Amino acid sequence: MNFLPQVIPDIVLIKPTLHGDDRGYFAETFRQDLFNNAIGRNINFIQDNESKSSKGVLRGLHYQVAPYSQSKLVRVIQGAVMDVVVDIRKSSSTFGQHLSFELTSNNKHQLFVPEGFAHGFVVLSDIATFSYKVDSYYAPEHERGIAYNDKELKINWQLKSKILKLSNKDSINPTLANSQDLFD
């Protein structure tokens, strides 16, 4: 596995090593010791989640606040998504900045998203199956969101807004400037 730190500190792109032949391939998708060493701290993932969505479905930008804040390790099993992280750590020199990554079943890339970041993705393929590990259980009363179309963030979701499909909850998220529960 190759662990590639990104320009926003604490975000790490992971490229697994594929061992393949005419029968297919094999890849380690997670190994606790290598992962913790690469990110420089111990993360204990306690739950795996999976979602399946059609083209244009946008999920996010989501995060959970203390005491249920979450770090995530995300990947695509089928299809392709544009995955986005936004730094919402008020004391960070990269506060309000975002990074985008195309995660696909072909490139097998994974992304580590630590607590202190809002996270979302939009489906670029006809169907996508998205998988992620979290280090804290889902707690609806601690869930928050930021508007996917916040003009200050200038996120290019790679799809026209007319074909985006949002949940009711995601369609009313506040802008980053109007968000109350950010990380210090």
What φ, ψ does residue 52 adopt, rounded to 5°?
-125, 130
Q: Which of 62, 98, 109, 119 is catalytic?
A: 62
Distance between CA 175 and CA 86 in Å, rounded? 12
Q: Which of 98, 132, 142, 148 is catalytic?
A: 132
End-to-end CA gap in the chain: 32
Q: State the residue for tokens 């309000």.
A: 96
Which residues make Cβ contacts (< 8 Å) with residue 115, sequence separation at least 6?
63, 69, 70, 71, 183
Active site residue 132: yes
Distance between CA 184 and CA 39 in Å, rounded? 20
Q: What one-character-per-residue DSSP string does 143-182 give? A: EEE--TT-TTT----SS-GGG-B--HHHHTPPPSTT-S--
Active site residue 62: yes
Give me the active site residues, please. 62, 132
